[in-house]
Structure 1
């Protein structure tokens, strides 16, 4: 997917915090859809959120809206056949990215996953973030509900997001092209926005490069809230260099992790970052699933990419990068509130506990994981494919045709 995305002007942006805000805005857009709905997501669960998604998609399909839903074959492997059959029988095009059979009951497509979360409606409004379609993104209702973020955008950037979603479908021959759409209005917002995607062919480092550029140019502050933080050498050094030259660098990381091993890797870096003046806070109220950051008073990013080897070097990811002081201020106020009310500050004394055994672990894990994507490249590679499910009635017709031909 060779698409060179650039900064676009005249965009409206809205920060959506957690699933309750995200789902209501996405479902509202789907209910108003006239022509087309494009959805990419890592996971759909057949729970209260998945059922709501199914119902609004059914209603849209009944209005003859063109619908493509693309899910990851690993992340959505547990979605039951009845749910998927109901979608396809309603005329919804359901695509499975890199489906692979289980081996001895184990999923084998562990890496190079479709981790993007994109929704585009009528080429008019789009959503990008880290929120999957599941009730585990409702922290207001569930103790282990994830803290996460997305952006709702309108304006010229929507064309780029739609082009990225369409390019994935075209690349895997799920469609030949996307028909043109007619947005209902022409927003004239003040935000400059750029889409960055990560894939394993043409855009391997786009997201990381934009992070590096912003941190390298930072003058006053860098605030990053990221679920799985185990950055590349370059990103690690840029953060330390920024702190050394007087930039206030603040990290908000998992303190109540859904994956304990992820916190272990991040915490192995704490002492080294604290030595350079980086402030580290662990969010303890809910599992942190966000991928959000601000630099200085204008730059911000929200998306699906963690700052770890899997996201930065293997997965298909999508982030929006924004130059807008109002959004930057909104994010800063929210993250400052989290620090004040729901975070524990990591001190040098706390980070030093157990360092005699964690230092060797840090050295081994840091260098092993840093080279992990390269080592994965030595294994026999397979070209990721996409499977488009067909309605059960169409399958039956095809089988009867084959039997008659025989």
Structure 2
């Protein structure tokens, strides 16, 4: 009994649970890197107390150096600046840039820096995939946008298609708590001091708007299924429309069937997926699922104008989520992720309108008739990719028996 009470008390420190929506927030939608980088750079320049920045990828390019300069300038004027990057995603970040940041007073940590190709362990795949910035307890940014030049790998194409949100209000306190907690965990594992202390600043205890929002994380301890469970709850309750845009879409059994059941009860289900792909195996594995979705009446659009990197959804026009979590086993079972969920017609309408515009002008719809006549080599490639990806997941040990899930909980791939 004593252990249970301790666990409940600890869980209460994490307000990212499904039922804990807070009111009084302002959540602003930011589309693509240009809007996101300009917004965080402006806030960094105004910071007075502390900055926390988490990014899966931090590239040594024009954008990376631009943000590094903003972080350094803040640190040099006395702001406590913390940068947490992932060891695999940011493996290309040069030592001189990190050394310069540290020299200027920016505290830097690397999440799981050991990325040896000769070590094949499940924990190697547990990455820090979050993209979060928090400034002075007054504003937080959450989304899917890494610190990387949008155009570096896209050539003459438009920037990556992606989203983030800027949050003001009581939710900032919750986001900041999560960021500080993860920093402490990584600091402890790096044999540094395990607690982060900073000066208190005012602002986030006051309401900043009228929007209800929640902050959800996925980790390997208390919040293993929060993001997936939020998606499934909203999908199962959907009455009119589900629009889901996801870069790496390889849903498990329950997620697939929730979408198919929604379509079966008359809900319009729309998927916006990658047309231009950067991971061949996952792209073809996803296409192996097209036939099942199309047969169920689900609409599929492939985005071709540039790389689609978004991880967003709008359900019934009033439930929306923006974050870092893909709908695939790597995000839902392995990585540390973070999403913001917003309840409100105005925000939902803005995101839905943006997605509809992308589908109408920059995407190609996949129809069943055309899909039936795809070349045999494409069908074979898709199913081989599907089988190989499932095998990889099985090798990692993520199945129902080893995860301890009940049959009706099924994270089954």
TM-score (norm 2): 0.85
Larger CA deviation: 3-12 vs 357-366: 357-366
Query: Are 2:87 and 1:68 equivalent residues in the alignment?
Result: no
Alignment partner for residue 51 of structure 2, among 19, 37, 43? 37
**Shift of residue 244, structure 1, vs aligned partner:** 0.4
Larger CA deviation: 59-68 vs 103-112: 103-112
Counterparts in 2 of 1:259 and 1:306: CA distance versus 1, 3 Å? same
**Shift of residue 116, structure 1, vs aligned partner:** 0.3
Name the residue aligned to 1:57.
71
Alignment partner for residue 18 of structure 1, among 27, 32, 35? 32
Counterparts in 2 of 1:65 and 1:289: CA distance versus 1, 3 Å? same
**Shift of residue 349, structure 1, vs aligned partner:** 2.0
Query: Are 2:223 and 1:203 equivalent residues in the alignment?
Result: yes
Name the residue aligned to 1:331.
351
- Paired residue secondary structure (2:150): helix
Separation (CA, whole Å) in 2 of partners of 1:7 and 1:206:
13
**Shift of residue 58, structure 1, vs aligned partner:** 1.3
- Paired residue secondary structure (1:34): coil
Aligned residues: 378
Name the residue aligned to 2:113.
99
Alignment partner for residue 233 of structure 1, among 250, 253, 278? 253
TM-score (norm 1): 0.87
Query: Are 2:137 and 1:123 equivalent residues in the alignment?
Result: yes
Name the residue aligned to 1:86.
100
Name the residue aligned to 2:408.
none
Alignment partner for residue 346 of structure 1, among 347, 366, 372? 366
Q: Is the 8 A contact 1:43 1:71 kept in 2?
A: yes
- Bigger relative contact order (CA 8 A; separation at least 6): 1
Name the residue aligned to 2:3.
none
Alignment partner for residue 327 of structure 2, among 283, 307, 324? 307
**Shift of residue 146, structure 1, vs aligned partner:** 1.3
- Paired residue secondary structure (2:356): helix
Q: Is the 8 A contact 1:254 1:287 kept in 2?
A: yes
**Shift of residue 93, structure 1, vs aligned partner:** 0.6
Name the residue aligned to 1:278.
298
Name the residue aligned to 1:316.
336
**Shift of residue 139, structure 1, vs aligned partner:** 9.6
- Paired residue secondary structure (1:319): strand
**Shift of residue 181, structure 1, vs aligned partner:** 2.7
Q: Is the 8 A contact 1:231 1:309 kept in 2?
A: yes
**Shift of residue 202, structure 1, vs aligned partner:** 1.8
Separation (CA, whole Å) in 1 of partners of 2:178 and 2:310:
22
Question: 5+ unaligned residues in a row in structure 2: which ranges?
Answer: 1-9, 399-413
Separation (CA, whole Å) in 2 of partners of 1:377 and 1:139:
33
